[in-house]
Amino acid sequence: MLKETYVAKLITLPKDAIKIDVGYPGIFAPSEDLLSDFNELKEKFMKKGMDEHEARKKAWGQIHFETRYKEQVSSKPRLMNRLKEIKKIAEKKDVYLYCYCGSFPCHRFILMDMIKKL
């Protein structure tokens, strides 16, 4: 079964779970341009007094993070093939996609959706 988590929770996972790091600087990490656009806008919102979670959500939407990230992944055959491999493995075993983000929005949720739609 395909699941998700984040780095701080890795120690709570079953020992036989397959853990796939999708965070920076791995192959599934968002591009530097996308991350930069996101972080700059998030910081701008936080400087105006918005809490971190709300700033993340607002920046995510305004820079069209999901659309841009999907284009980034789907344009690379190597990544799409890896997603297909992950899907096959997840049909038989627990597979956790993880990165540093604690909650949504996070690109690991986009990857999960992409895998499920394959």
Residues 25-57 pLDDT 10s? 899 999 999 999 999 999 999 999 999 999 999
pLDDT at 74: 98
pTM attached to this predicted model: 0.93
Show the domain range for 28.
2-116
pLDDT band for 62, please (50, 70, 90 cuts). very high
Number of domains in the chain: 1
Q: How far apart are CA 88 and CA 58, in angstroms?
A: 34
pLDDT at 103 over 90: no
Whether residue 75 contacts residue 40, with contact meaning beta carbons closer than 8 Å, is answered with no
